[in-house]
Amino acid sequence: MTYADLILEWFDKNKRDMPWRRTSDPYCIWVSEVMLQQTQVVTVIPYYLRFIERFPNVSALAEASLEEVHNYWQGLGYYRRGENLWKGAKLIVDKWQGEFPRDPKLIKEIPGIGPYTLGAICSIALHLPLPAVDGNVMRILARQFCIGEDIANPKNRKLFEDKVMELMPNDPNRFNQALMELGALICTPKNPNCKECPMKPICEAYQKNVQEEYPVKLKKVKAVELNYKVLLIEKGSKIGMIKRPEEGLLANLWGFPMIEEKDWESIDLEAIKPVYLEQVTHVFTHRKWQMKPVILNWSQPLEKTLGPLLQEQGEIQYIEKNNLKNLPIATAFKKVMKKKQVTV
């Protein structure tokens, strides 16, 4: 049996039932692949179903506001993904009259579509022979063929893409999905289930008993730790919120004003009478926020004391606590809200 025969036979018997596997609509495949970036399948499924119900096609997504899209994305994290979907939908409507393009060169123009997502959409939805190589695929190929190149180095991606194309049969749809599924269910990052693996007969790492030595991957850069005071400024039944800028971390999402720890030390605390809550930690890819929530009551002295430190963050808007559920609030700040028992 060929490589493709082995993996496709296993896939047909063991593939998981996922809602995006019941359609060949490139729009739905696109949405699912974007949601699945750095997010587990079990987490994505309810978000996907809810998103597709509200935005069933490109036109529906393009007509929505960015804030509504963010609302439907709340809890998934990496909000730029949802924003790119929205921007991409607008591009498709403006440039191709709402018809998802079939040409890979055109699909590449859509915001947020990189090599892996391009390959996944083209092979799964359009049955085009393109590789869909992510960390899962590089891991299993590195083990099966004892490929010693660093998978964290972008320069080595083409090596793995070429290997996929060398192995690919005349069914790119099932083949690429089978590779992904094998990496998710059997050839996992730690403790791979080699006894149940259909690729044992051809896996060089298994034959040599060196599975744990592959793939080669350089250590991640340690996240930079940043310390903030997060200000919960109450004004009667309202609380102060800031909409973050259109670019940068947590773009276009809402949160609380923050002051770096080093700047907080210079403030006249007697004038603002802070009440401290338990510290909250939120980890991003390359940074870690240590956030100390501080309850403050609005007053003229408070505004005078903190004003200069808050000006660069944008205008503080005082919003009824009951209306917070209508805002796309970043997960980091939702953690803070739990400490204050502010619900959305």
pLDDT on residue 282: 95
Percent of the chain whose pLDDT exceeds 90: 79
List the alpha helices (DSSP H) in 97-198.
Answer: 104-107, 115-124, 135-144, 157-167, 172-185
Higher local confidence (pLDDT), 326 or 61: 61
Mean pLDDT of 122-127: 97
pLDDT single digits (tens) 86-113: 999 999 999 999 999 999 999 999 999 9
Res. 166: pLDDT tops 50 = yes
Task: Please tell me the predicted confidence (pLDDT) of residue 343.
Answer: 46
Instruction: Name all domains of the chain by residue range, CATH numbers in brackets.
Output: 224-340 (3.90.79.10)
Beta bridge partners of 275: 295
What is the separation of C-alpha 202 from the centre of its chain, rounded to a whole number of angstroms?
A: 34
Q: Is the pLDDT of residue 184 over 90?
A: yes
Beta bridge partners of 254: 243, 329
Report how far residue 164's alpha carbon sits from residue 47's, in angstroms, rounded to the nearest whole number.
30
Average pLDDT over residues 57-72: 96
Contact 84, 34 (CB under 8 A): yes
Structure tokens at 89: 């939908």
In the DSSP assignment, the letter for residue 329 is B
Residue 163 pLDDT greater than 50, yes or no? yes
Confidence band of 230 (pLDDT split at 50, 70, 90): very high
- Among the listed residues 33, 83, 161, 181, the single catalytic one is 33
Mean per-residue pLDDT, 294-307: 85
In the predicted structure, residue 241 carries a pLDDT above the cut 60: yes
DSSP assignments along 203-214, one per residue: -HHHHHT-GGG-
Mean pLDDT (whole number) for 293-307: 86
Candidates 279, 288, 271; CA nearest to 230 is 279
Residue 170: pLDDT above 70?
yes
What is the C-alpha radius of gyration for the chain, rounded to an integer number of angstroms? 24
CA angle 275, 278, 283 (to 5 degrees): 130
pLDDT of residue 58: 98
What was the pLDDT predicted at 344? 41
**Residue pLDDT, tens place only, 248-271:** 888 889 999 999 998 898 888 888
- In the three-class reduction of DSSP (H, G, I as helix; E, B as strand; rest coil), residue 167 is classed as helix
> Which of 128-142, 163-177, 180-194, 207-221 comes out lowest in average pLDDT?
207-221
Helix (H, G, I), strand (E, B) or coil at 271: helix
Q: What is the per-residue pLDDT for 9?
A: 97
- Work out the pLDDT band at 162, boundaries 50, 70, 90: very high
Single-letter amino acid code for the residue at 66: L
Q: Are strands 258-260 and 224-235 parallel, antiparallel or unpaired?
A: antiparallel
What pLDDT, on a 0 to 100 scale, did the predictor assign at position 342? 56
Supply the pTM of this predicted model: 0.76
Residue 181 known to be catalytic? no
Cα angle for residues 240, 241, 242 (degrees, 5° grid): 135
pLDDT category at 219 given cuts 50, 70, 90 is: confident
